[in-house]
Structure 1
Amino acid sequence: MRLNEIVFTDAKPVEGYGPGFFRIGGQVIHGPVIAGPGGIQTWAGLQDDAALLALKGQVDVLFVGTGAEIGHLPETLTGPLEEAGMGVEAMASPAACRTYNILLSEGRRIALALIPV
């Protein structure tokens, strides 16, 4: 079997998660987190749209992990992000992590905002 090396951009892949935490690029973060081209940072959650709007121009799609189950994103969050030119996809956090890693390996312009499971 031939193996191909996956080269991630300067953004870090999600390596694991559990109750209340994520491991991204070797760093353990407790609580909500944003991962993308600018690195890894803590996040205040769905009410913190300013941190997500700061990604304008850097990403084409933002994946929002809503915890253990898929949840609805408020229009007050999605509206400004879409106006800023970002596609926004909500899904359960485990699915968001997997999708992010796959697209990151393809060199896509993406970011991830996660609420812990």
Structure 2
Amino acid sequence: MQSVRRLQSFLRPPAARSLYSSIVHRSSAYDGDGKTTLSILNLEAESGLLINSYSQVGFRLNNNMVVLGPMAIFPRTVFSWNVASYEDINEESLSLFSVLEPKIDILVVGIGDQPMTPALNKRIIEYMRKYRINVEVLSTEQACATFNFLNSEGRVVAGALIPPVSLRVNEDDVMRTQVAKRQVYELEEN
């Protein structure tokens, strides 16, 4: 049993691991048709590529791939995107998304943590409108969540994401880090 727990610790991210073990390893009194179940989408391979996390240097995907710098992500493929900042987003850098087959339904653009400017937003929307592609211009944090949601729904979506310059840390992040550290020490003791 101990080797199974150790193996599970390598297969799942720390936050999901504790949730997963509490769901899977508890027996319940009710096993009927109306039983509520929970699926963690980022752990399911058939849901395509999803973004697990981002940092100032890049992104980590649900298949444990790390993409350094800006990326163009699709339901099953990811590329490096050759832009240095949101100021480099123009018709040339967006041209990749207009020539794809099958045509994407929506492009989710994550501009890092920079404030959105109406001129940039308008320029991107007008260019993509020529190709009948809907666009959402968001912060990278919101763009990652939006891409994951649309991709898990089976939509033909693409993401054009730039890592943020700075990261916000909240109480939940601090708590998750502390829980993860405790779990590492508990595994070492066993």
TM-score, normalised with respect to structure 2: 0.54
Query: 1:109 and 1:103, CA in 2 relative to 1: closer, same or farther beyond 3 A?
Result: same
Q: Is residue 65 from structure 1 mapped to residue 110 from structure 2 by the alignment?
A: yes
Amino acid at match of 2:67: I
Distance in 1 of aligned mates of 2:131 and 2:46: 23
Partner residue in 2 for 1:43: 81
Larger RCO, structure (CA 8 Å, separation 6 or more): 1
Whether the 8 Å contact between 1:62 and 1:87 is mirrored in structure 2 is yes
Q: CA deviation at 1:65?
A: 0.3
What CA distance in whole angstroms lies between the structure 2 residues aligned with 1:54 and 1:37? 16
| Equivalent residue, structure 2, for 1:23 | 60
- For residue 3 of structure 1, the aligned residue among 38, 42, 47 is 38
Determine which structure has the larger helix proportion and give its number. 2
Distance in 2 (CA, whole Å) between partners of 1:19 and 1:116 is 5
Q: Check conservation: 2:49, 2:77, Cα contact below 8 A.
A: yes
Range with greater deviation from structure 2 (14-23 or 47-56): 47-56
CA contact (8 A) 2:140 2:163 kept: yes
Moved more, 24-33 or 46-55: 46-55
Q: Which runs of 5+ in 1 are unaligned?
A: none
* 1:96 maps to amino acid: A
The structure richer in strand per residue is 1
What amino acid maps onto 1:33 in structure 2?
Answer: M
Larger CA Rg, structure 1 vs 2: 2
Alpha-carbon displacement from aligned partner over 1:24-80 (angstroms, at most 9, x marks no partner): 232111111010146100112313122222336431011000101442335443322
Count of matched residue pairs: 117
TM-score of the pair, normalised by structure 1: 0.83
Partner amino acid for 1:22? Answer: F
Unaligned residue ranges in structure 2 (runs of 5+):
1-35, 84-88, 165-190
Contact 1:100 1:110 (8 Å CA) reproduced: yes
CA distance in 1, matches of 2:45, 2:100: 18
* Structure 1 residues 44 and 28, CA gap change in structure 2 (3 angstroms): same
Percent of matched pairs sharing the same residue: 27
CA distance in 2, matches of 1:4, 1:38: 20
* Contact 1:70/1:91 (8 A) holds in 2: no
Partner of 1:95: 142
1: CA distance between counterparts of 2:107 and 2:128?
A: 9
